[in-house]
Every structure is written in C-alpha cells, then in structure tokens.
A and B are shown apart, each in its own frame.
Chain A
Amino acid sequence: GESVGLHLPTLSVQEGDNSIINCAYSNSASDYFIWYKQESGKGPQFIIDIRSNMDKRQGQRVTVLLNKTVKHLSLQIAATQPGDSAVYFCAESPGNTGKLIFGQGTTLQVKP
C-alpha cells in the first residue's frame, strides 16, 4: 500500500555485487506490477513490468520475480553500478481500478 508517513528502508551493496530489492503487495486482485527507479530530485522512471500470468521477466541487467502465492515481488539488479543508486518503488495495479498503488520504496546505496 502507500507509504505516507514511513521512512524508506535502505539496502547497501558493494559495486559489482548483485542487488535484490523486495516488495510485498497487498491486493490479490492485482494483475500488473511495475518497478520504478527514482534518482534524487527527479521523477520516478519505469524500469520493468510484469503481468500476473508470468512469474519472471528479464531486462537488461534487471530481473523481476513475482510470487503470487505469497504476494511478493522482487527486483534483481546484476553487477550493481554506482549509477544504480536511487530509490526503487514497486507498484501494483488492481485490475478493477486502473490505478497504481505504490509500495514503500527502498533506497539502494552502492559502495565503490
């Protein structure tokens, strides 16, 4: 659900390592999921999406995994780079509303 009033958790990784960012979604009717990346002072940017009829989707250096049984979504970033440092948000779309519901957000810090 929405994260008003909550501080964002932080994940710190070494440059070159793989990163895994997790998200628990709330609505079992959600059929579409998106990961966004937000750099400091900028609007969120689309990274990758997945529909509920899939459990895995790969992009360039990123993989999204969907586990509908436990309502869990994860974003894996391979060979994390300093430019990956940002806040990452997951979002779910309950099919009956057409609106996106954003998760809490996770701050990814990449150490050189």
Chain B
Amino acid sequence: SQTIHQWPATLVQPVGSPLSLECTVEGTSNPNLYWYRQAAGRGLQLLFYSVGIGQISSEVPQNLSASRPQDRQFILSSKKLLLSDSGFYLCAWDRSVSGNTIYFGEGSWLTVV
C-alpha cells in the first residue's frame, strides 16, 4: 500500500530564518506531488505541483520554493521566512493520470515568530 510521510510535524522558526519541509511517498512510482498551505480557519491553497523529477510548477507567487530531487521526494523551502508564511503545510500525491484522488500527508505546522 502507498504511504506518504512529511516532517517535521511542527516547527517554530524566527523571521528571516530558512525553511525545509520534506515529504516522501512510498509504495508507488512516478506520482504527481503537491504542496498545499492552509491558514488557520481557511481552505486549501495549492502552492506547487510536480509531475516528475526536477519539474516544478508554481501556482502562486510567494516567498517559497519547491524541489523534487528524487521521484518520490518533494521538498518545500524558503531562504528567509516571513510572518505571513505561518500555516499548516500539506504534502499530497496522486497517480499520474487525470481524475484521481489526492492523498494527503499529516501536515506540518509552521509558526514564524
């Protein structure tokens, strides 16, 4: 069966510090991978998606970047965090065909102080 892991689960970082959130998927190959952000009491905002190694699409302009160094690894990064980067970050995957269910990780809580 397929599983998705992301870490760390919680993170408190000062403004201006770097960020690295990691996500890995097991039990499947060539998945589509996604990073979503969810501010408290808000819906889901798609940040990045990737259809393959080194292929990243950004949905919204922002202070964050994403990378996919391996087929089942997706990393969300920032060089200098802003207060507005605080939120709940969710990694997700689906199979590389249209009209498929997205499966989410457990999320990472980021608080920028």
Contacts and interface: CB of A to CB of B under 8 A. Distances in A.
Given A44-B90, A44-B104, A95 B42 contact: no
Nearest to B96: A98
B101 A2 contact: no
A34 interface: yes
B104 A43 contact: yes
Interface residues of A, number: 32
Nearest to B92: A43
Closest 9 CB pairs of A and B: A3-B43, A43-B104, A98-B98, A32-B99, A102-B44, A105-B43, A43-B107, A4-B45, A93-B99
B99 A51 contact: yes
Interface in A40-85: 41-46, 49, 51
A89 B32 CA distance: 20
Nearest to B44: A102
B83 interface: no
B107 A41 contact: yes
Interface in B48-106: 49, 90, 92, 94, 97-106
Interface in A78-112: 89, 91, 93, 95-100, 102-105
Given A2-B44, A8-B41, A31-B99, 16 more contacts: A2-B46, A3-B42, A3-B43, A7-B41, A8-B43, A32-B98, A32-B100, A41-B109, A42-B106, A43-B90, A44-B44, A93-B98, A98-B99, A99-B46, A102-B44, A104-B43
Contact of A34 (B49, B98, B101, B105): B101
Given A41-B107, A97-B98, A5 B42 contact: yes
B60 to A, nearest CB: 8
B106 to A, nearest CB: 5
A53 B69 CA distance: 38
Nearest to B91: A43
B43 A98 contact: no
B43 A2 contact: yes
Interface centre among B92, B97, B98 (most CB of A within 10 A): B98
A108 to B, nearest CB: 14
A86 to B, nearest CB: 13
